[in-house]
Structure 1
Amino acid sequence: MLNFSNSLIGILNLVTFLLSIPIIIAGIWLSKQGVTVCEHWLEKPAIAFGIFLLIVSIVGLIGACCRVSWLMWIYLFIMFLLILILFGCTIFAFVITNKGAGRVLSDKGFKEYRLGAYSNWLQNRVTGRTWKKIRSCLVASKYCSNFNKHHGQDNIAMFNKQKLSPVESGCCKPSNECGFTYISPTKWTKTRNVTLANPDCNAWNNDPNILCYNCQSCKAGFLQNIKKNWKKVSIVNIVFLIFLVVVFSIGCCAFKNNRNHNYYKGH
């Protein structure tokens, strides 16, 4: 009869094996159905992660249930690397998302965002070709079109009270500094004799495919959204990290059981 640690490792790896199958299927589905650059970008990580999870689960399952010591050693080595990588990524995420926050505007329900407020590493992620891909995703998702539908009937007083998301504030409307005249949430008139010291004011265009997608504020709003999501992911990572440490500890017991079993079997 298998020891408790071996049985537990076997059950855990059976569950992860079953979970890997829908992940791989989802990645393949995205590769067939994806239309935007964003959807095609997601397919490869999904398939790679699913295959990795599948292989590791099989190694752990065979190593624990069939008492194959060298497979358990490989399984534990992979788990140890995962713990180190996840720990490093979690610390890194907390460090680079420590800077940056929205600027509160008087008599406004929304905040505005400045690119320079964020870490240099994040700023470098939204330049050149990378930003072109991100911008194409934002346009293809009709983010600002939906924003206009939700607030299209608002007058300026109502609009100023809205709690806009970072991307809505940065990409779908001009900066408050520009002093443009409000017509609709995504349509503004450039007022004469208004100082355009902020380069985003010149970048603004009422074309639904342009708006403020080329603005620094749009990049800042996108980074703020990334920052919020990374904070949530980091919390999940901590929980997962604890889970991996527990599994690794159980795996060490299973590995020890395998060695003892094979030793007594050989004698």
Structure 2
Amino acid sequence: MYRLSNTVVGYLNLLTLLSSIPIIGGALWLARSSATCESALQTPLLAVGFIVLLVSLAGFIGACFNVACALWLYLFSMLVLIAALLCITVFGFAVTGGGNGDQIPGRVYREYHLSDYSAWLRRRISEDGNWRAARACVVGSRACAEVVRWTPIDYLQRDLTPIQVNLRSHLF
């Protein structure tokens, strides 16, 4: 049984080790892009790729070569990663919990208000240094280029994304 479980752990870690290579490659590919949105993703992707690579390598070495120290490191790393993901998830729900948007009668879109979100998120968004990168990303993506040509009737009939609703509230 010991040999079977180590084999399974070894193969799973080999699979995750190999899957970390495209993650790192994708992050390096994003470095070539000059767009603000893509460059903002580069550092987190590199960090995730290298963390997955190192944890998988520890698990693979521990399972395949019976190195107990590497398996303990792998187990502790997985515990820390699971706890971190749980904390990030809870934090994300806590910060964005009230932002469901209000259904407007006669409209196909929802109206979103900054006051629905947590005070921490409102402060982060209102700080000019934090908002500058997000604003550059939205402008650079040309997500709203089509919306500028719409008539007021188009706004009533079309399904709008939250960014387009925000643009609509600034235009009218």
The normalised TM-score by structure 2 is: 0.89
Verify the 8 A CA contact 1:110 1:163 in the aligned structure 2: yes
CA distance in 1, matches of 2:82, 2:100: 30
Q: Which residue of 1 aligns with 2:76?
A: 77
SS of the residue corresponding to residue 126 of structure 1 reads helix
SS of the residue corresponding to residue 125 of structure 1 reads helix
Number of residue equivalences: 171
1:20-35 pair list within 5 angstroms: 20-32=20-32, 34-35=33-34
Q: Which residue of 2 aligns with 1:161?
A: 157
Verify the 8 A CA contact 1:2 1:65 in the aligned structure 2: no
Which is worse superposed, 112-121 or 99-108?
A: 99-108
The Cα shift of 1:108 comes to: 2.3
* Larger-gyration structure (1/2): 1
The Cα shift of 1:158 comes to: 4.0
Output one character per residue of 1:176-211: Cα deviation in whole Å (capped at 9) or x when no partner: xx8x4xxxxxxxxxxxxxxxxxxxxxxxxxxxxxxx
The reply on whether 1:170 has 2:166 as its aligned counterpart is yes
Q: Which residue of 2 aligns with 1:209?
A: none
Structure 1 residues 158 and 40: alpha-carbon distance in aligned structure 2, compared to 1, 3 A threshold: closer
Q: Which residue of 1 aligns with 2:131?
A: 131
The reply on whether 1:62 has 2:55 as its aligned counterpart is no
Output one character per residue of 1:49-92: Cα deviation in whole Å (capped at 9) or x when no partner: 11111111111101011101111111111111112112222222
Verify the 8 A CA contact 1:96 1:122 in the aligned structure 2: yes
Q: Which residue of 2 aligns with 1:120?
A: 119
1:138-153 pair list within 5 angstroms: 138-148=138-148, 152=149
The Cα shift of 1:106 comes to: 3.2
Instruction: Give unpaired runs (5+ residues) of structure 2.
Output: none
- Runs of 4+ with deviation above 6 angstroms: none
Structure of higher RCO (CA pairs closer than 8 Å, 6+ residues apart):
1
Q: Which amino acid counterpart does residue 82 of structure 2 have in structure 1?
A: I
1:190-205 pair list within 5 angstroms: none
Instruction: Give unpaired runs (5+ residues) of structure 1.
Output: 181-267
CA distance in 2, matches of 1:157, 1:38: 31
1:1-267 pair list within 5 angstroms: 3-32=3-32, 34-127=33-126, 128-148=128-148, 152=149, 155-171=151-167, 173-174=168-169, 180=172
CA distance in 1, matches of 2:158, 2:17: 46
Q: Which amino acid counterpart does residue 22 of structure 2 have in structure 1?
A: P
Structure 1 residues 15 and 146: alpha-carbon distance in aligned structure 2, compared to 1, 3 A threshold: farther
CA distance in 1, matches of 2:142, 2:75: 46
Q: Which amino acid counterpart does residue 131 of structure 1 have in structure 2?
A: W
The Cα shift of 1:36 comes to: 1.9
CA distance in 1, matches of 2:119, 2:105: 28
The normalised TM-score by structure 1 is: 0.59
CA distance in 1, matches of 2:101, 2:89: 23
Identity %: 36
The Cα shift of 1:115 comes to: 1.1
CA RMSD of aligned residues (A): 2.0
Structure 1 residues 118 and 56: alpha-carbon distance in aligned structure 2, compared to 1, 3 A threshold: same
CA distance in 1, matches of 2:62, 2:102: 55
Higher helix fraction (1 or 2): 2
CA distance in 2, matches of 1:42, 1:158: 34
